Chains A and B, each alone.
Chain A
Amino acid sequence: MTEDRAGSASPLDRLLPLLDASRQELHLGAAVLESADPAQLLELAANPKIGRYLLARLCDTVALVDPGREEELAAALLAAGHTPKRSREAGS
């Protein structure tokens, strides 16, 4: 993967590749970070203090959060000067 990414992959691909969806999977209790545009997501992924909590992309503006790290990601975003809107699914 490292060799593939080093070649023709975009910066976002290298930092935050797409989640492998070759098999059907159901994720329950997941968290995602959604940005207004790909440039913002790239900026966040490139920041090690934020990128460490992002696992993979679902699309160019939505990143899957590493399981169990939502609160740490929220704190890291606030510390970096971002103000993310929090949306909690009922019952979560």
Chain B
Amino acid sequence: MSEAPELVDVSLPLWEARGKSARARASTHVLASDAHGEAAFQYMDAGAAKTAARFWTGKSAYSLPKAQAIEAVQRAMKDKARCREIFETLPDDQKAVLSIFKRYGGALLGEVLECEVRIRGLAREVQYGEAGHRFTRWEEPVGLMQRRLLLMRAGRSRYSGYGGELRYPDLAAHRGILSLAEAAGPLTWKAHRQAASPPRVTHLRGPSEVALDLGRIARELEAMGSWKTNRGGSLAQSALNRLRKAARLSYAEEALRPPECESLFYEILRGLGAVQADDGDGSIDLTVVEGHLSLPAAEQARLWVRAWLQCRLWQDGIGVVPDRDNDRDPVRIPPADLRASREALVWALCRVAQTPGRWLDLETFLKDLWEATGDEAINFYWHGYSWMPVIKMAEEKEKFDRGPKRSLAFWLEQEGLWAANATLATLAYLGLVERGRDGSGRKARYCFRLTPLGRAVFGAPELRYEEPHVAPKFLKVLPNHEVLAYLESARPAELWTLGRMAERKPSAGGPVETFRLTRESMYNALESGMTPQDIRGFLSEHSQSGLPENVAHSMTTWAGKRESLVLRTGLAILAAGDGGLSSEVRGRRIGERFVLLSRTAGKRALRATTGSIQIHYGKSTRACWWVEENGSLRVAQEADSIAAARLGRIAERTGDGWRITAPSVAKAAREGLTAERIEGWLLEHQAAPIPAMLLVSIRNWAGRGQTAFAGDLAMLQVTNPETCEAILKSPRFRGLLAGHIPPDWFVIKTDLRAELDRLLDATGFHRAGRYRLADLSTGGPDSDPAAPKRRGRTGLGYVVGGPAEEPPAAAGDEALGPGRGLLPA
């Protein structure tokens, strides 16, 4: 089978947008999909099209070309009477298949259809052939139907009824026929061995806890503004680290917390439509989150499961995975396989939901899952999960001979562990599964059952969730500004509101969460649009202990502080000039010479003041001054007030202009300006390149003084590299040297100058001669093509002075020409 493009589930937004009430949607099967199959016509070959046309319109249609055959089928499919005629003629097993589709909303993944068809007894394996040449095939009704009444969905092509395999593609039922079918009833689950007794240690997360964490992640994402995403839209590592540090989610049993759980919530928020992640950047719309948290608990949880089913880049027991895989060294479970596995697992849990809520032993459940779903539904290769419970049969896998048991044992070690992580880590974290344990360490035996919420989500439409009684007063506000929230009595929407105004303290989870009212939390609430009255009203209404007076006083003080300081951005300001402000200018007057204009007035002023100076903040500034190396600065006539204000902060006025000096920069530094800021201002307004030494001076004046040496040194220069090497190795010379400036200068100890002269004489050097320096006008020795490339560059390597000097000739010495003395030619 060729690999078709990855399945894109269009059902979620369509389904949710159908206008059904939240309560009605909560009664929908969690796997329901109304994905259409009409588009599948484009995948039909000519033979299939003709067969379908003959079925729908009569024998003569078989001779039609493909396009006309399809058109004929489409016309007939819209004919209600024809649909009813066809439906009535269908055999019972094909009607039963349609009933399955009706139960699931009209569309099914192939793997789930296989499970349903087998469990409901609609398919059977048939052996044929002679002894020694036996074959297996499946007799099943779906294959016959798919050419006529079940339509291919865009996605994978997996059909096979031969070779002992039963594999279906992803299909959708024709709407007109589907409407005539009755929905199939639910299936129950039969464990081949129940858990012996209720476990000693249990763990359950309530829906409010989950909603609280989801809300926390949403708020922290909003505080980030926007963030970098990887290809595919998952959080970039830096953003994930920031989120983890800010959200501080905690959990009772760390070993069973889903890996990178912040990303799990992030992907759920994406699935809900709250997070948009395109082109490398992500952002969040909190109104979507708020709306979601206002839904009934069962609907919220159903949407979490739906989002989890779709999320490709967070995988159970693994965490965040990249969008691209590596065929030779896979870094993730193939998303299409993961999607199918999740749906198959959910299909099994839907059956569990219909069975009275006993505890299910984990290993037993996994074995039953394999038996119920077959070889293909949950089938991928991966090893190494965040939670690795001991599964006895998997550990003994090598003991089994080739056959079903060995296959099961190996499956338990890989796919089974995935299913364990998905059920007892992911779904438990989402409050749908209650986890139990007996024993510890390698002897721990795990079990689980669905929570009441989980039974409602997986048991829909037959089972409903009874919302627990919520008390209006679910808080206690304490005099120390802490707020205790009793989660079992609270609605998620109310917890969301509380989270807006108070900081949640890290906890290990549980029925009571502690929040704290702080100046920052009040500030954030006010910035988000709440008023002080909203906050007081909420706390007073929901607090069992009322609002302590000191807490009320603190809140009033904090709110007042916010009102006393306002940062306004994006303004248009008109500066009057010497002519003063015209009375026709509309806006808020500030002082005697400025007006804050509204946006409209600002645009009008823009047109009216074309002759005046216009300063567009955020765009390039005009160059209006020239500064020299000594800090002297000339300002152009057209310099604006921003340039003037900046100049006033960093320079002193002199007789005929300005000057940047050590005192002016030191003062600016005391007032908080850094050397980088001063440099930035200079760059913005300077009309010519800034002298480099002035920048050095500014850094020095601003407090980052550098050291420099200027003084007398006794120096020895020897230009022959071998001679330099010899001097460095000579014990007699080394005792006289204070240092070496590569490649050919030595610093002599001042008090040993006479001894050096004697040593130079003794070793045959001519002490008369010239020294060689780099030419400053060419920028240094490296720029001199004739200069030896071995020269190094040091601060002290260049002596500032004039051209090489002729030392005075000693009495009796011959006049030296080039090539004599210290410097050989």
Contact = CB atoms under 8 A, between A and B. Distances in A.
Interface of A: 1-4, 15, 17-36, 40, 47-52, 55-60, 62, 64-68, 70, 73-74, 77-78, 81-92
Contact of B652 (A3, A21, A84): A3
Interface in B641-697: 641-642, 644-646, 648-649, 651-653, 663-664, 667, 670-674, 677
A55 B577 contact: no
14 contacts: A17-B645, A18-B591, A21-B641, A22-B578, A24-B577, A28-B614, A34-B566, A55-B642, A77-B565, A83-B565, A86-B567, A87-B569, A89-B568, A91-B570
Given A3-B652, A49-B672, A58-B591, A30 B567 contact: no
A24 B570 contact: no
Given A2-B652, A85-B526, A26 B567 contact: no
Nearest to A55: B645
A20 B645 contact: yes
B737 to A, nearest CB: 48
Contacts of A59: 590-592, 594
A15 B621 CA distance: 24
Nearest to B569: A31
A89 B569 contact: yes
A64 B645 contact: yes
A18 B670 CA distance: 20
B562 interface: yes
A74 B562 CA distance: 12
B565 A82 contact: yes
Contacts of A84: 562, 565-567
Interface string B776-813: 00000000000000000000000000000000000000
A1 B617 contact: no
Contact of A35 (B565, B592, B618): B565
A50 B671 CA distance: 9
A46 to B, nearest CB: 9
Given A2-B664, A22-B577, A58-B590, A85 B672 contact: no
Name, among A22, A28, A36, the residue most crowded by chain B CB atoms within 10 Å (CB to CB): A28
Interface string B496-540: 000000000000000000000001101100110000000000000
A80 to B, nearest CB: 11
Interface residues of B, number: 65
Name, among A51, A58, A90, the residue most crowded by chain B CB atoms within 10 Å (CB to CB): A58
A86 B566 CA distance: 6
B657 to A, nearest CB: 12
Contacts of A40: 564-565
A86 to B, nearest CB: 6
B430 to A, nearest CB: 35
A82 B527 CA distance: 13
Nearest to B669: A48
Contacts, number: 216
B602 interface: yes
A35 B570 contact: no
Nearest to B527: A86
Contact of B671 (A20, A23, A51, A62): A51
B617 A24 contact: no
Contacts of A62: 590-591, 594
Contact of A67 (B520, B606, B642): B642
Given A60-B591, A91-B570, 18 more contacts: A1-B652, A15-B671, A19-B641, A23-B612, A24-B609, A26-B605, A27-B617, A27-B642, A32-B568, A32-B571, A36-B563, A52-B673, A55-B649, A82-B565, A83-B520, A86-B567, A89-B570, A89-B571
A67 B618 contact: yes
Contacts of A67: 617-618, 621, 642
Interface in B616-646: 616-618, 621, 640-642, 644-646
A68 B651 CA distance: 21
Which secondary structure dominates where chain B touches chain A? mixed
B571 A21 contact: no
Interface string B554-591: 00001001111111111111111111000000000011
Given A64-B645, A86-B527, A52 B572 contact: no
A25 B613 contact: yes
Given A27-B617, A48-B670, A88-B569, A56 B645 contact: yes
B120 interface: no
B358 interface: no
Contacts of B520: 78, 83
Given A26-B614, A31-B569, A85 B574 contact: no
A31 B594 CA distance: 13
A75 B293 CA distance: 31
A25 B618 contact: no
Contacts of B592: 59
A2 B667 contact: yes
Name, among B594, B615, B640, the residue most crowded by chain A CB atoms within 10 Å (CB to CB): B594
Contacts of B526: 85
Nearest to A32: B568
Name, among B558, B651, B671, the residue most crowded by chain A CB atoms within 10 Å (CB to CB): B671
A31 to B, nearest CB: 4
B593 interface: yes
B144 to A, nearest CB: 63
A28 B522 CA distance: 32
A77 B599 contact: no
A31 B570 contact: yes
B565 A68 contact: no
B644 A20 contact: yes
A65 B646 CA distance: 11
Given A29-B571, A40-B564, A82-B565, A51 B599 contact: no
A35 B561 CA distance: 10
B567 A73 contact: yes
A60 B578 CA distance: 19
B575 A91 contact: no
B572 to A, nearest CB: 5
Given A15-B671, A40-B564, A89-B599, A26 B609 contact: yes
Contacts of B564: 35-36, 40
Given A29-B570, A67-B642, A34 B615 contact: no
B617 A28 contact: yes
A58 B573 CA distance: 10
Contacts of A2: 652-653, 663-664, 667
B575 A24 contact: yes
